[in-house]
Structure 1
């Protein structure tokens, strides 16, 4: 079974590391499976890309398309063309995509147009905010893919509501559990300190989504909110390169109690998670990683695709307004959530996915 994996962004590197390792184990046990990785180049900063391949032992990509710094349409179109050319040359048995980025959609569309079965890991997630590029990507990818690996029961329900279901003689929707939970269980003991000192007690924050960074008014509001939180609890913020550039363009600055640090790798982020009191983020992946580490999360958006975390009381939707962010932080500093629920499976999602990928027919 020849499988081509498409990745381009930090969360996809983490997920691909787990599934690639499961493929390698299957091959060592006599399963005929071979993987080739295409890196679209979507994250081109070393701290956002190359370092992940190095520290997580991900097989090196067979090609890097080098597509970045363009509009959403420009990136998706260039990626689609580059992926299609590789697939036409190699004719793999399966194409594997992850998450909700432009790389995800380009990979699924290229496979679908060439009649190559596509598998989507992290299928069925919905924020129901069509102004988010990620929402468009995940919906279209689900409907273009052949088989859908859902991380939660809610994701399966979302697909059923859209009419995406198994067909006679063909399985389309599979509950796999979440590969990010697999990754956390494997890598948490391997975490390492970042290359900068951190306070003894702190909140961990990340800001990178275009809806927050590309609107100067919203970005200014977020900076005010984090500065306000830092007046109560120091904030450690590994700063995304795009966020740093947008802040410089807008003349915005953090207070001295916000440590705006360079981007960090996954193992360093796990270390920062382990040491923090709580998390403030607009990242989907970090919301889950906070839950795995049993750290409460304040989401700096108006919605989340991980609705089960809100239902469990471990995540609060704050948006960007200073008063709302402060209220959520105050709640979590004075209330310890219940961490007993396990909505993301048993830590063996990758094995389930590889087992399905290696089946001769779906």
Structure 2
């Protein structure tokens, strides 16, 4: 365990995976501006530097007070290791509130430990639901919301989901989306031209990210996905930064056995969003990318049967697709957007309510009021 000198802090942020860092940055800054004492615990769930440390550098996050270095493992083994490390941290710090983000294993582990130690929990991104309990993330987010004293909700439907599950109305706060705060604050840094030059990308390309277990864990499914991706590469160059999860199966299926496929290592935040901003279309199974493409105005095809972010469909550019629909839908998008550029798409993008770049201050206001009670 990499530990700095213990500093007692009333607010402890628990971060474990790439999306957590993007969501936490505006919250930490807003709480700092409000004069709050804070500590950051990095669980090390994402332990590759390209998936974690680079985000601290690029987003201006404070150096973590602790890195638990948990690493990978089965859900049970990883969650158990997380709970053991977090129990020690929370016991030593006695925080007034623990803030957790999203729906990864670090999130539910921190919520469970805090609840059993009678420490209040605030959940950023509460109320999202896919209604698919085969997804580990759905289990994590539902249980975290039940354990949370403060539910910080990114979109209006989340308030209804929490009410239907018996969460008292006074616990739920519609605050907007802090991931979009980070996106808007860094908009000038997303230099598509530089990313193209550094990674040898063509002017027109489709960008893909795939890592969900249902899409990449089974070799046969991964091979089917690769066939579809090759079909897209027949239409336009395909750029795919390969997530560590699924890399072995995708590469074994011949992902890079097509001249039009550009396989990249995971990218830092600014390079990745720069690549997204310049894409003709995005193919993904990620949750956060559905949101980012909505604001950027980039067509997004989500390879899943459901989404916990339906507002990206009703107010954004997202569409759910099956494997069978993927190539035909990409063809339609490419034909429809042949003359569009990134600036025009951004200017014309629809914005969900409160996705305005001010979620961090709203969250800070709720948290400060809560710990002041």
- Provide the rounded CA distance (Å) in 1 between the counterparts of 2:86 and 2:37: 18
Q: CA deviation at 1:247?
A: 2.7
SS in 2 for 1:104: helix
TM-score if structure 2 supplies the norm length?
0.90
* Structure 2 residue 18 is matched with structure 1 residue 10: yes
- Provide the rounded CA distance (Å) in 2 between the counterparts of 1:254 and 1:184: 34
- Provide the rounded CA distance (Å) in 2 between the counterparts of 1:341 and 1:52: 25
* Structure 2 residue 338 is matched with structure 1 residue 339: no
Of 36, 48, 51, which residue of structure 2 is paired with 1:48?
51
* Structure 2 residue 159 is matched with structure 1 residue 151: no
- Provide the rounded CA distance (Å) in 1 between the counterparts of 2:313 and 2:152: 22
* Structure 2 residue 200 is matched with structure 1 residue 197: yes
Q: CA deviation at 1:228?
A: 0.5
Q: CA deviation at 1:229?
A: 0.7
* Structure 2 residue 319 is matched with structure 1 residue 316: yes
Of 274, 278, 281, which residue of structure 1 is paired with 2:277?
274
Q: In the alignment, is the contact (CA less than 8 A) between 1:308 and 1:343 conserved in 2?
A: no
Query: What are the residue-to-residue correspondences of 1:157-196 with 2, within 5 Å?
Result: 157-166=160-169, 171-192=170-191, 193-194=194-195, 195-196=198-199
Distance change (3 Å), C-alpha of 1:122 and 1:254: farther
SS in 1 for 2:208: strand
* Structure 2 residue 146 is matched with structure 1 residue 136: no
Q: In the alignment, is the contact (CA less than 8 A) between 1:188 and 1:270 conserved in 2?
A: no
User: Which residue pairs with 1:30 in the alignment?
Assistant: none
Q: CA deviation at 1:25?
A: 1.8
Q: In the alignment, is the contact (CA less than 8 A) between 2:128 and 2:309 conserved in 1?
A: yes
Q: In the alignment, is the contact (CA less than 8 A) between 1:316 and 1:328 conserved in 2?
A: no
Moved more, 307-316 or 112-121: 307-316
Query: What are the residue-to-residue correspondences of 1:1-362 with 2, within 5 Å?
Result: 2-27=10-35, 33-166=36-169, 171-192=170-191, 193-194=194-195, 195-249=198-252, 253-312=256-315, 314-321=317-324, 324-335=325-336, 339-359=349-369, 360-361=371-372
- Provide the rounded CA distance (Å) in 2 between the counterparts of 1:313 and 1:333: 17
Number of residue-to-residue matches in the alignment: 351
Q: What's the CA shift string for 1:298-349, capped at 9, x where partnerless?
A: 001111111122234621111323xx10122133234469733434532211
TM-score if structure 1 supplies the norm length?
0.92
Q: What's the CA shift string for 1:39-73, capped at 9, x where partnerless?
A: 11111111111111111111111111111221001
- Provide the rounded CA distance (Å) in 1 between the counterparts of 2:327 and 2:218: 21
Mark the runs of 5 or more structure 1 residues left unpaired by the alignment: 28-32
Q: In the alignment, is the contact (CA less than 8 A) between 1:15 and 1:183 conserved in 2?
A: yes
- Provide the rounded CA distance (Å) in 2 between the counterparts of 1:85 and 1:100: 22
Q: CA deviation at 1:91?
A: 0.2
Q: CA deviation at 1:213?
A: 1.5
What RMSD over aligned residues (CA atoms) do the two structures have, in Å? 1.7
